[in-house]
Structure 1
Amino acid sequence: MSEIYTTIIFLFVLFALLGSSVWIGLALMGVAWVGMELFTTRPAGDAMITTIWTGASSWTLTALPLFIWMGEILYRTRLSEDMFRGLAPWMRWLPGGLLHTNIAGCTIFAAVSGSSAATLTTVGKMSIPELRKRGYPEFMIIGTLAGAATLGLMIPPSLTLIVYGVSINESITKLFMAGIFPGLVLAGLFMAYIVGWHFFYKGERPQEEPKMTLGQMLAESRFLIPVLLLVAVVIGSMYLGYATATEAAAVGVLGSMTLALAQGSLTWNTFSASLMGATRTSAMIALILMGASFLSLAMGFTGLPRALAGWIDQMNLSPLVLIIALTLFYVVLGMFLDGISSVVLTMAIVEPMIRQAGIDVIWFGIFIVVVVEMAQVTPPIGFNLFVLQGMTRHEISYISKTAIPMVGLMLVMVVILVAWPELATWLPENIRSTPSG
């Protein structure tokens, strides 16, 4: 019974702090402080200082601001526009036409950004005006963009996977490898949705795009090549064992700066804006991770994670039933918290559960990314919905309706992961990689 009272106190303090608009990182520290003071004899101040410093000084964590900065540089220069220009000729012949540029553009940009919001903003500012001008239905433009932007959370370098890896002390490179195939499969599901719309709603099709010769398509592709080369160098250096995640991120920053400089779009204003944007985002995530580290320590002292893991073990739940329960849990949690907050807030309790159930932690990292992707497009706190509202001026309710089919496809992706776990585990198990830093 004591574990029940402890849990109630933790939850009460947490929701009280979050409800009073305290920053999430500070709210987590506040809950941990209360837990340390009420349930342990160790001085809370000393524990907090030690834990926060240890969490913030992680070498693995240095990859986070660098990948964010790389995405910011691409977002604020003309490289992102060139990427779209080079991509469009190859998408126009597919059933569904240029709507596929939302999916393909988000997939490619996700491979150099890692942020769902940055992916959405970058691709959206290019594709929305072009697709509207060509007469594509608004419902499909917004819905496909809302769903495809979540690929920034899965396709490496993924900020959520970095945070997950740091939280459970697992190799970032292995997690990045695990995200490739599931990310591509999810992108394929989104594209299949567009193809289905093309054939089932023939009256909504816009006029066909003008034909282009192969030579014209290849000529336009020259704008796409620099970004693809950057992706290949950054991701390939990690997977082939030449660089750690942090070193690959540094190469990505230098590469994106070099490309922007060669293109003539890297000015002092874009450089400083990208640096400050990366600093703000990194500081926000670092504060959340600091609070989560302290909360994990406090929960460890109370014995709550071990007690809950033991309780789950006594229930004799199969791994499948546990995954179903956790899916429902994270979908509900995602309605109120963003993805990274959901991960760091729950790992102290969920990690012992999944290890006790014999669930592969690499596979679970991909699973948790898929379910927190849903959080990006589910009201009331779906971050992508607010970004799209700012870009399109539509009501949140309308944008939410456009995203419902994409949420359904993410649930299908969860089923696929459960049915074929090798989709996430094959690459990390069969390709030589470097340490997590």
Structure 2
Amino acid sequence: MDLAWVAVVLTGALFLLLGLGVWVAPALIAVGIIGMQVFADAPGGSILATTAWASSASWTMTALPLFIWMGEILFRTKLSDDMFAGLAPWVERLPGRLLHVNVFGCGIFAAVSGSSAATAATIGRISLPELKARGYPESISIGSLAGSGTLGLLIPPSIIMIVYGVAAQISVARLFIAGVLPGLLLVSLFSGYVMIWSLLNKDKIPAAGLAMRFAAKVYSTRRLIPVILLIVGVIGSIYAGYATATEAAALGVVGALLVAGFSGMLNKASIMASLLGAVRTSTMIFFILLGAAYLTSAMSFTGLPAELANWIAAEKLPAWALLAALTVFFIVLGCFLDGISIILLTTSVILPAVQAAGIDLLWFGIFVVLVVEMAQITPPVGFNLFVVQNLTGKDIFAVAKASFPFFLLMVVATILITMFPQIVLSLPQAMVAR
């Protein structure tokens, strides 16, 4: 059968299963079995057994549950309260005032969480009620939270970067370092937009509160110092070469336990809740990883990835055209799937084509994360939209409308790293040169 028809049949089967409400992992396995048995005549059962072991027996993947547990521990502390109390005095004089707490708070929590949903939920449960009580416009409050919450995917340690690193066989430590500058770029774009919006809508922003002395501002930030030290310890140990991503994850868990202990929130109930939360999330991700690995094997047997790569090489398709097409493709997928599923579902087919186009796989990892960030705030299945909807009770399309300017800012960030790839590559190159 022509490979184009193979692609159509397998894609149609996958979307049919997903549309029927089948879980992502079983749907991937089912499509893999169809590919193996119908189009490749391969021993599907034996390959499933070996794939299940190969996809999970990875030392690098041990960082995944550890970083998830670190975020779960901190999610159950008073960190969100500390964020608001510590950041509010410093942003009071900026155009937009306390709206910047959403942006900077999400940026800081993203550096200890790795999850966009956890980032948005943690910051939003304190910031949204406070902003509403002080008279800030609801649309910009909601939009800045939903948009900034996506920083949990880009600012390391990022769960989705670990998944991509394993799938693409790229160093997770280098991916983490590559995400630092793009993360700061996105924080700057979000904060800049809040300033511009506020200057254009001065009448909608409440008046500034009483000015605080510098010493009082520093004192109000004291509760953030342990978290800042934790961020520096985790990322700094990787950049300096003292620890691998897995070792840094273990360090992060110990640091998170210490932070929770100092905050008075560490007890048997919180530890068990954080462990169960980490187990649920990790199990879900590993199950999807197994299904995606099996589908990858099926795709290899059918010859689709190699054929696509050969076609791109023969057509001499420019890198920018491929990236533009993939951006649209990922955004469309984001309307129906979560970010991890998108990465695992597409890697087997897309990476050979990306390599054929001469695109650096490390850079492409950050590009993919940025585009998947956009998918987090696209209806109807944008995870951050659901989180903010649960916090506010607003209609999901109202939340999406409020988030749209931040979606466009992510598009700008994607264009910038495409035009200036050193935004992504400079720190990893410096790390290797050390």
Shift of 1:157: 0.4
Could you say which residue in structure 2 is the equivalent of 1:47?
Answer: 47
| 1:143-154 aligned within 5 A | 143-154=143-154
SS at match of 2:41: coil
What whole-Å deviation, never above 9, does each CA across 1:29-67 have from its counterpart, x for those lacking one? 111111111122331111001011110121111111110
8 Å CA contact 1:95, 1:195 repeated in 2? yes
Q: Which residue of 1 aligns with 2:206?
A: 206
> What's the % identity of the aligned pairs?
51
Q: Distance in 2 between matches of 1:68 and 1:349?
A: 28
Does the aligned pair in 2 maintain the 1:241–1:432 contact within 8 Å?
A: no
- Matching residue of 1:366: 366
- 2:67 counterpart residue number: 67
Unpaired stretches in structure 2, ≥5 consecutive residues:
none
- Corresponding position of 2:329: 329
Q: Is the 8 A contact 1:83 1:227 kept in 2?
A: no
| 1:258 corresponds to | 258
For residues 398 and 41 of structure 1, the distance between their equivalents in structure 2, rounded to whole angstroms, comes to 49
2: distance between equivalents of 1:46 and 1:158? 33
Equivalent position amino acid for 1:278 in 2 = A
Partner Cα distance (2:334, 2:261) in 1: 39
1:22-421 equivalences in 2 (<5 Å): 22-421=22-421
Contact 2:316 2:357 (8 Å CA) reproduced: no
The one-character-per-residue Cα deviations of 1:234-265 (angstroms, maximum 9, x if unpaired) are: 11111111111111111111111112112211
Matched with 2:15 is 15
2:352 partner amino acid: P
Q: Provide the rounded CA distance (Å) in 2 between the counterparts of 1:8 and 1:321.
A: 22
Deviation at 1:334, TM superposition (A): 1.0
For residues 334 and 160 of structure 2, what CA distance do their matches in structure 1 show? 14
Q: 1:79: Cα distance to partner?
A: 3.0
Distance across 2 between alignment mates of 1:217 and 1:433: 39
**Partners in 2 of 1:259 and 1:339 — Cα distance?**
29
Structure 1 ranges of 4+ moved more than 4 A: none
Comparing 258-267 with 167-176, which one deviates more in the overlay?
Answer: 258-267
SS at match of 1:223: helix
Structure 1 window deviating more from structure 2 (259-268 vs 272-281): it is: 259-268
Q: Distance in 2 between matches of 1:8 and 1:372?
A: 23
Describe the SS at the equivalent of 1:93: coil
Structure 2 CA distance for aligned equivalents of residues 127 and 433 of structure 1: 42
**Shift of residue 399 of structure 1?**
0.5
Q: Measure, in 1, the Cα distance between the counterparts of 2:83 and 2:238.
A: 23
Q: Which runs of 5+ in 1 are unaligned?
A: none
Query: Structure 1 pair 433/147, CA: closer, same or farther in 2 (3 Å)?
Result: farther
CA drift at 1:349: 0.7
**Deviation, structure 1 residue 4:** 0.9
CA contact (8 A) 1:85 1:224 kept: no
Deviation, 1:384, is 0.7
For normalisation by structure 1, the TM-score amounts to 0.97
Shift of 1:433: 8.9
Q: Is the 8 A contact 2:417 2:423 kept in 1?
A: yes
- The number of aligned residues is 434
The question of whether the paired residues in 1 share the 8 Å contact of 2:10 and 2:35 is answered with yes
Q: State the alpha-carbon separation in 2 of the partners of residues 79 and 230 from structure 1.
A: 13
Indicate if the aligned counterparts of 1:114 and 1:152 stay in contact, CA closer than 8 A. yes
Q: Tell me, yes or no, if the aligned pair for 1:173 and 1:433 is still in contact at 8 Å.
A: no
